[in-house]
Chains A and B, each alone.
Chain A
Amino acid sequence: MSDTTIIDLLREKLPTECVLSEAEELRPYECDGLSAYRRLPLVVVIPKTLEQVQTTLKLCAQNGVAVVARGAGTGLSGGALPLTDGVLLSMARFNRILAIDTANRTARVQPGVTNLSISKAAAPHGLYYAPDPSSQIACSIGGNVAENAGGVHCLKYGLTVHNIQQVEVLTIDGEHLTVGSQALDSAGYDLLALMTGSEGLLGLITEITVKLLPLPETAQVVLAAFASVEAAGTAVTAIIANGIIPAGLELLDNPAIRAVEQFVHAGYPEDAAAILLCELDGTAADVATQIERVSGVFREAGATELRVSRDDAERQRFWAGRKAAFPAMGRLSPDYYCMDGTIPRRHLSRVLAEIERMSTEYGLPICNVFHAGDGNLHPLILYDANQPGELERTEELGGKILELCVAVGGTITGEHGVGMEKINQMCVQFNAEELTQLHAVKHAFDPQGLLNPGKAIPTLHRCAEFGAMHIHQGQLPHPELERF
């Protein structure tokens, strides 16, 4: 069929305001948080009702037209990048919190609801939704489920997959499925785990039941400075060895500390080779015990300075620097390139030393700001795209860093997803048989391959090169959001 036909069909079945096809209307949908990749969709559909979503999917299935679902468009891996010959299906109008069940500690929400608004709605009941990706003020819960979003508190509270109970799904044929249940498990295969992080390739999520946790009685942050990155890495391991699971454990190296200090004056010690921010939460008695213990561990690991937040305002100040780290980098360098690999923590010192060596070899500075407790690295390579060849060398260096992550038993993406960005790097982590099995799983859900095709799982002949998150001239979509 010709392109005009699907637009005509959509217009015929849906209200006028739900179908956008003029170039200027399509422009806002040309990219998600990964702005290096842009293209206009054939048509944008913004349904208001489930029936309209169903109608759209059915029309696409019947006419062999691909569909890319979109939430808030804050994803960092190009998962919501449109297809020039496909429908971009925005779930933005599904933005209601349907119910909060305080007795069972769950909330039933529509996919377009923002992550933070769930916690806000639950707060009067002393409850909150634990996963807190840095974009939580804007990112939608539907997108969080599609990407299995993480955040600063994963080490203690888990990822999205650990914090949801049920999703309502529409298949590409418009068929309705309830996956998971209102209980803690469900009959049959764990399709809830399969749907979570499936990046829009298996089904369209139309409703989510999330778990709510009691708000911790109190939270405090310990800031520790170290004379070497290795010492900080060792301190991370020692914390865990001492039986403590912090709510968050973040590392900034010296280039990152200096960049942050120039930018927000968080009061970090600028001469430190690395600092650790260790958040402890729980009952007041437990937090006191943990702070005492953590301080001891840090001192033993050679901390040159220790500060404990005295009140919530000071805790926020400690975090302010960490949260401003990415924008701060944007001031240091015309461009930066953010990686998202995870490694086993025991290799932290070794991998950081190797990254530093590679940085020298390539003549490209690297800052490290990351979730040390999870071993989730975010090395930022600073470069200038206007210098001939620098982008290519940056991509090569980034590729080597991700290869290193896989080589020590880690992964190419800890929390940003594969999307379009790391589609080629999937080939390093998975062999042909594994990729074939992943394609077979997609086929079981979507035999025509119409849901977000070309993302997340590479075809076998595609396996070639690496990519990562590019920030040109500090132009990051949603610059108002914290990125960490």
Chain B
Amino acid sequence: MMTLVESFQDTLRAAAATGTPVSIRAGGSKSFYGRPGTGTGFSVAEYTGIIDYSPTELVISARAGTPLAELEAALAKENQMLPFEPPHFGPGATLGGTIACGFSGPRRPYAGAARDHVLGITCLNGRGERLRFGGQVMKNVAGYDISRTLTGSLGTLAVLLDITLKVLPRPETELTLSLEASPEQALEWLNVWAGQPLPLSGGGCIGKQLMVRLSGFEQGVKAAAQRLGGDELAAADSFWQDLREQRHPFFQDDRPLWRLSVPPATAAFALEADELIDWGGAQRWLKTSLPAQILRDTAARAGGHATRFRGGNRDDVFHPLDPALLALHQRLKASFDPAGILNPGRMYSGI
């Protein structure tokens, strides 16, 4: 009997032969993200299950269709976690979609991004070839770092099959401090503190409220909390979850949602927009109807980039690339997917 992977390979070979695009999908929780998919549906939702999890190894391998919730539950049972704290954006979230989008949550600036925790990926390229890059070990410099390159590539280079991630023990103690601060004051504090040996694991500012999360061993966390001041937030877990999942009232607004990724000490933007500071200042959420050009110029001037995360014109989502870089993206895409069948146009037109 043909295995599921073999049937995926058959489908991709046939699609490549006829030049018919496929639109890769698992749980559908992130279908709002990126440019619209145009191809025939190609579901990896059935390709599920944890392949290998040895807690003392700090490594977990699972198939792309594995629900993110299932993965996190397995880790929680062993008192471990995904350090990059990925958002789900819905109950259908899968591991494959999370890695394909490369999403990371509030812990990102302090613990690393999704790509930092990817150790290995087995995938199918646009020729239907099953390829394995990276592995199950922390240190591995054999071959180009393809598995990290695939992270965040929105399925435009390969269909992700098996993903191996580095995991970490859950911190023993975690607490969140709430301090009153203007955005300017919040940005200053967040960046001064990030330059000091403090057990930071989250830093965000909504309105006049600065939230700082501390994680680690009890004594160290308590000592840091005493130093920083403010009040301990009671429902801290739900606050960070609501921020990560964009359920906080800030996000309940009909205007498009922009994500500006900028150097963390960048001053609050003087724009006609509501701004939420996350990632210790490195990720700014803006609710605004301003034209794309203004936001892109603002982000670029600061040394970063702007993404139209939700709403607005879905054909124009990601920050435009310089011509030389765009040409390189096109050649790289062609090296994985010469027939251009994998999620074409999902990231940029022509890729």
List chain A positions with a Cβ less than 8 A from chain B: 101-106, 125-127, 147-148, 150, 154-155, 158-159, 161-162, 171, 175-179, 181-191, 193-194, 196-198, 202, 214-217, 237-238, 240-241, 243-245, 282-283, 285-286, 288-290, 342-346, 371, 374-376, 409-418, 422, 426, 429-430, 433-434, 437-438, 440-441, 443-445, 456-457
- Chain A residues closer than 8 Å to B102, beta-carbon distance: 185, 190
Closest B-chain residue to A203, C-beta based? B328
Whether A434 lies near B322 (C-beta < 8 A) is no
Interface status of B335 (Cβ within 8 A of chain A): yes
B265 touches A103 (CB 8 A): yes
In the A-B complex, the 4 residue pairs with the closest CB atoms: A182-B303, A193-B148, A183-B304, A286-B220
Determine if B191 and A443 form an interchain contact, defined as CB atoms under 8 angstroms apart.
no
Specify which chain B residues have a CB less than 8 angstroms from the CB of A375 in the assembled complex. 137-139
Nearest residue, chain B, Cβ from A242:
B169
The proximity string for B residues 142-163 relative to A, scoring 1 for CB distances below 8 Å and 0 otherwise, is 1111101101110001000000
Q: Contact: B219 with A289, CB < 8 Å?
A: yes
Q: Chain A interface: which of B12-20, B63-71, B124-132, B268-276?
A: B124-132
Q: Is B56 interfacial (CB-CB < 8 Å)?
A: yes
With A193-B145, A411-B135, A437-B131 as contacts: A158 and B195 at CB distance below 8 Å: no
B4 at the interface (CB under 8 A from A): no
Q: For the complex, what is the distance from the CA of A240 to the CA of B57, rounded to whole Å?
A: 8
Which residue in A103, A240, A288 is a CB contact (below 8 Å) of B219? A288
Q: In the complex, A456→B221 CA distance in Å? A: 45
**Contacts beyond the supplied A283-B198, A411-B135: 11 A-B pairs with Cβ under 8 Å:** A105-B194, A105-B264, A125-B195, A159-B139, A185-B113, A185-B152, A215-B197, A285-B217, A344-B59, A346-B57, A411-B140
Which B residue's beta carbon lies closest to that of A435? B143
Check A190–B115 contact: CB distance below 8 A.
yes
Closest to B223 in A: A285
Is there a chain A Cβ closer than 8 Å to B181's Cβ? Answer: no
| Residue among B113, B115, B145 with the highest chain A CB neighbour number at 10 A | B145
26 A–B contacts, CB within 8 A, in A order: A104-B265, A126-B195, A154-B138, A161-B148, A177-B324, A181-B305, A182-B304, A185-B113, A187-B319, A188-B347, A189-B332, A238-B56, A240-B169, A289-B217, A342-B137, A344-B136, A344-B137, A375-B138, A430-B143, A433-B131, A437-B125, A437-B131, A437-B336, A441-B146, A441-B335, A456-B143
Interchain CA distance A210-B329 in the complex, whole Å: 24
Closest residue of A by beta carbon distance from B149: A194
A374 and B172 in contact, given A282-B197, A346-B57 (Cβ under 8 angstroms) = no
Q: Does B2 contact A (CB under 8 A)?
A: no
Q: Is B348 an interface residue (CB 8 A)?
A: yes
B138 near A194 with CB under 8 A, answer no
Q: Whole-angstrom distance between the alpha carbons of A102 and B325 in the complex?
A: 29
In the complex, which residues of chain A have a beta carbon less than 8 angstroms from the beta carbon of B319?
A: 187
* Contact assessment for A190 and B56 in the assembled complex, using a CB-CB cutoff below 8 Å: no
Question: In the docked arrangement, what's the CA distance between A430 and B142, Å?
Answer: 9
- Knowing A286-B219, A444-B332, A444-B334, the reply to whether A194 touches B144 (Cβ < 8 A) is yes
B109 proximal to A (CB < 8 A): yes
Interface pair B328/A197, CB less than 8 Å apart:
no
**What CA separation (Å) do A375 and B109 show in the bound complex?**
26
Chain B residues at the A interface, C-beta cutoff of 8 Å: 54-59, 79, 102, 108-109, 112-113, 115-116, 125, 129-133, 135-146, 148-149, 151-153, 157, 168-170, 172, 191, 194-199, 216-220, 222-224, 261-265, 279, 282-283, 302-305, 307, 318-322, 324-325, 328-329, 331-332, 334-336, 347-348
Chain B residues lying within 8 Å of A148, measured Cβ to Cβ, are 141, 145
Contacts of A106 in B (CB 8 A): 263
Bound-state Cα–Cα, A125 to B325, Å: 35
Known A-B contacts A282-B216, A437-B336, A441-B144; the reply to A190 vs B151 at CB < 8 A is yes
Residues of B within 8 A of A445 (CB): 328, 331
Contacts of B139 in A (CB 8 A): 150, 154, 159, 342, 371, 374-376, 411, 414-415
A202–B328 Cα gap in the complex (Å)? Answer: 11
Residue in A241, A413, A433, A434 whose beta carbon sits within 8 Å of that of B141 in the complex: A413
Q: Give which listed residue, B58, B59, B148, B223, contacts A190 with CB less than 8 A.
A: B148
B142 near A422 (CB under 8 angstroms)?
A: yes
In angstroms, Cα B264 to Cα A178, docked, is: 19
* B149 partner residues in chain A, CB cutoff 8 A: 189-191, 193-194
Whether the pair B143, A444 counts as a contact (CB closer than 8 A) is no
User: Which of B79, B129, B137, B319 gathers the greatest number of chain A CB atoms within 10 Å?
Assistant: B137
Q: A175–B152 Cα gap in the complex (Å)?
A: 25
Q: Is the CB of B220 within 8 A of A282?
A: yes
With contacts A126-B195, A191-B328 taken as known, whether A437 is within 8 angstroms of B129 at the C-beta atoms is yes
A410 and chain B: residue at smallest CB distance: B137
Are B328 and A426 in contact (CB-based, < 8 A)? no
In the assembled complex, the Cα of A467 lies from the Cα of B57 at a distance in Å of 29
The answer to whether B220 touches A289 (Cβ under 8 A) is yes
Q: Which residues of B contact A215 (CB under 8 A)?
A: 197
Closest chain A residue to B138 by CB distance? A374
**A415 contact set on B, CB distance < 8 A:** 139, 141
With CB as the reference atom, state the residue of chain B lying closest to A104: B263
Chain A nearest CB: distance from B318 CB in Å? 5
Instruction: Give bound CA distance, A185 to B170, whole Å.
Output: 25
A456 to chain B, nearest CB (A): 8
Chain A hits for B305, CB < 8 A: 181, 183, 186-187
Q: Is B153's CB under 8 angstroms from A162's CB?
A: no
Output the least CB separation between A458 and chain B (Å).
10
Q: Could you say which of B116, B157, B195, B262 contacts A105, with CB atoms under 8 Å apart?
A: B195
Closest Cβ of chain B to A249, distance in Å, is 12
- Rounded to whole angstroms, the CA-CA distance of A196 and B146 in the bound complex is 11
Tell me the nearest residue of chain A to B283, going by C-beta: A184
Q: From A194, A283, A375, name the one whose CB has the most chain B CB atoms within 10 angstroms.
A: A283
Would you call B141 and A187 a contact (CB within 8 A)?
no
**Which of B115, B146, B196, B220 has most A Cβ within 10 Å?**
B220
On chain A, the residues within 8 Å of B217 by CB distance are: 285-286, 289-290
Instruction: Tell me the nearest residue of chain A to B338, going by C-beta.
Output: A440
Name the residue on A nearest B348 (C-beta): A188
Q: Give the one of A159, A185, A193, A429 with max B CB within 10 A.
A: A185
The chain A residue sitting closest to B317, CB to CB, is A187
The answer for the CA separation of A67 and B3 in the assembled complex, in Å, is 46
A243–B199 alpha-carbon span in the complex (Å):
16
Q: Which residue, A106, A190, A282, has most C-beta atoms of chain B within 10 A?
A: A190
State in angstroms the CA–CA spacing of A412 and B140 once bound together.
Answer: 8
Contact of A187 with B223 in the complex, beta carbons under 8 Å: no
